[in-house]
Amino acid sequence: MRTLFKGGTVVSGQGTRPADVLVEGGTISAVGTDLSADGAQIVDCAGKLLFPGFIDAHTHFDLAVAGTVTADDFATGSRAALRGGTTTVIDYAAPDKGETLAYGLAKWREKAAGRCACDYGFHMTIDDWSEGISREMGEMVDQGIPTFKMYMTYPAMMLPEGDLYRALKRLRELGCLTGVHCENSAVIDALIAEAKAAGRIGPASHPRTRPAPLEAEAVSRLLRIAQVADVPVIIVHLSTREGLEEVRAARRRGQTVYVETCPQYLLLDESVYDAADYLDAARYVCAPPIRGAADRDALWEALKSGEIQTVATDHCSFTLEQKRMGREDFTKIPGGLPGVEDRGVLLYTAGVAAGRIDEAAMCRLLSENAAKLYGCWPRKGVIAPGSDADIVIYDPAAEGAITAADHIQNVDYDPYEGIPDRGTIHQVYLRGTLAVDRGQVLAGPDGQFIPRGRSVL
Ligand code: MN
């Protein structure tokens, strides 16, 4: 089957240009002006932007957390992803302490296989350390999982610093990357104890017990350990200006540091936690917490300057009923926000349409840099001959508003409720097949596991 996308504006990380795109089977075969193809199905793209399918490299589908399970699994989450223009997700496989990485990977493969509507890959969580895990890290790379995740908080997940160092050294040997969740766990625990002793048990205590300096301190500590291990790292979900300062300091020393942030840190501010109604505040509980307006502005500046390489969602959805679990104790609120369906429109609306970034930057942040950083370039992340025909047709002229009443994420609220959209996702093609047509998800559970190689960013 041949499809010719006529008359649109093709976006890449370098800029925009008017071009036609010819797709044969699941692959892009030509990009150029005035293309024609006998017998091809024609898709009129006049007035539309063509982005390479977005990649969301930070999702948590079907994850057990604190006595409950995320509301979205691979079936619902991947359909929502596609509807939002995301054609590839990279989720975190998370073995429990004591389990092998192979066992953790098998569990995640089982969660996704035959259910996922978009393409997918996994990062492997390193939450324990042994010779066996060190060896298995190499086996993960051989199986197309060259990226890892480590935590500096959460007792069930975090590694002692000596093991963090050992794992980083092993990554250096393998030439691979890890994302790291940076927050100072011990001081957060002390602040939580203070808040509870003072009877401050509501959601407003959540951001106050995880203040900005405790992200910056952990970023600094990680980057100093990475300096000694002599290895690049990725700071995931960076939320603060002070954390960004620590990244800048490490880069001035000559270190390679990559940074991801998320829509919640770009679109919202900490006043969400002051809502009088418990659920109105609890719905925004996530870690790191949503920060102040000055942090938000600093992150936008860093997106514009290229200091932040990618925007992912940290999609980790819980229903309002699940968020009730912390009614008597804010530390029992399951932490996480939905967003996998909203990211593209949010970044276009608050970024491109608002004049903060241009289309090329949006393409780098959502597609190109993620593909390069996470090792699936140029199969993904670019509209070019030979690449998978993952194409988002964006209509910048359409207007709408984000609302839970419309979304298909399996959650009964939307953190971005009421934000007026500039533009909509008109159509989404996954490997050459129409997967979403004006909000209707047509794709079945045909997402493929995408084996990845080493970073080329
Ligand atoms: Mn996460």
- pLDDT by residue (tens digit) across 206-222? 999 999 999 999 999 99
Model pLDDT, residue 66: 83
Instruction: Report the number of secondary-structure helices (H) and strands (E) in the chain.
Output: 15, 19
User: 163: exposed, middle or buried (C-beta count within 10 Å: 0-12, 13-18, 19+)?
Assistant: middle
Distance 335 CA to ligand 1 centre (A): 10
- Nearest alpha-carbon partner for 134 in 180, 87, 167: 167
Residue in 283, 297, 267 with CA at minimum distance from that of residue 420: 267
Distance 123 CA to ligand 1 centre (A): 11
314 CA distance to ligand 1 middle (Å): 5
**Which of the four pLDDT bands, split at 50, 70 and 90, describes residue 431?**
very high
How many angstroms separate the Cα of 282 from the Cα of each of 131, 195, 206, 335, 342? 41, 16, 9, 9, 20
Distance from Cα 263 to the centre of ligand 1, integer Å: 13
Between the CA of 151 and the centroid of ligand 1 the distance, in Å, is: 10
Q: How far is the CA of 431 from the centre of ligand 1 (A)?
A: 27
> What's the pLDDT at 234?
98
Phi, psi dihedral angles at 120 (to 5 degrees): -155, 160
Name the token pair of 97. Answer: 């302490």
pLDDT for residue 270 is more than 90: yes
113 beta partners:
none
What is the rounded average pLDDT of the residues 242-260? 98
- For 157-178, what is each residue's pLDDT tens digit? 999 999 999 999 999 999 999 9
Residue 392 β-bridge partners: 51, 428
Ligand 1 mean position to 50 CA, how many Å?
29
DSSP class of 412: S
Percentage above 70 pLDDT, the chain: 100
Give per-residue pLDDT as tens, 120-135: 999 999 999 999 999 9
- 287-326 burial: b if 16+ Cβ within 10 Å, else e: bbbbbbeebbebbbebbeeebbbbbbbbbbbbbeebbbbb
Which residue bears the tokens 């910056």?
A: 216
pLDDT tens digits for range 35-69:
999 999 999 999 999 999 999 999 999 999 989 99
Q: How far is the CA of 332 from the centre of ligand 1 (A)?
A: 17
For residues 417-424, average pLDDT: 94
Q: In angstroms, rounded to a whole number, what is the distance separating the alpha carbons of residues 147 and 124?
A: 6
Reported confidence tier of residue 204, pLDDT bands at 50, 70, 90? very high
The single-letter code of the amino acid at 340 is: V
Ligand 1 centre distance from Cα of residue 384 (Å) = 31
| pLDDT score, position 36 | 93
Burial grade of 169 (CB within 10 A; 0-12, 13-18, 19 or more): middle
**Amino acid identity at 204:** A
Averaged over 67-94, what is the pLDDT?
98
CA of 278 relative to ligand 1 center, distance in Å: 23
Q: What is the pLDDT of residue 1?
A: 87
pLDDT confidence band for 227 (50 / 70 / 90): very high
**CA distances, 370 to each of 24, 55, 144, 428 (Å):** 25, 6, 16, 18
CA of 41 to the centre of ligand 1 (A): 40
Give 198's contacts (C-beta < 8 A, 6+ positions apart). Answer: none
Please say if the pLDDT value at position 400 is more than 90.
no
Rg (CA), the chain: 21
Name which residue leads in pLDDT, 155 or 233: 233
Which whole-number Å values give the CA distances from 150 to 86, 164, 315, 398, in the listed order?
24, 8, 17, 41
Task: State the Cα torsion 63-64-66-69 to the nearest 10°.
Answer: 80
pLDDT of residue 72: 98
User: Rounded to the nearest whole angstrom, what is the distance from the C-alpha of residue 334 to the centroid of ligand 1?
Assistant: 12
CA atoms within 13 A on the CB side of 174: 26
245 three-state secondary structure: helix
- CA gap 389, 427 in Å, rounded: 13
What is the CA(315)–ligand 1 centre distance, in A? 7
- What is the whole-number distance in angstroms between the Cα of residue 60 and the centre of ligand 1? 7
pLDDT for position 25: 94
As a whole number, the mean pLDDT across the chain is 97
Centroid of ligand 1 to alpha carbon of 239 (angstroms)? 13
Report pLDDT for 319.
98
Q: CA-to-CA distance for 372 and 431, rounded, in angstroms? A: 19
Is the pTM higher than 0.85? The answer reads yes
| 3-state SS, residue 18 | strand
- Read off the tokens for 111: 């969660």
Q: How far is the CA of 57 from the centre of ligand 1 (A)?
A: 10
Residues with CB under 5 A from ligand 1 (ion): 314
The rounded Å distance from CA 445 to ligand 1 centre is 24
With a cut of 90, say whether residue 364 has pLDDT above it.
Answer: yes
- Whether 307 shows a pLDDT value over 90: the answer reads yes
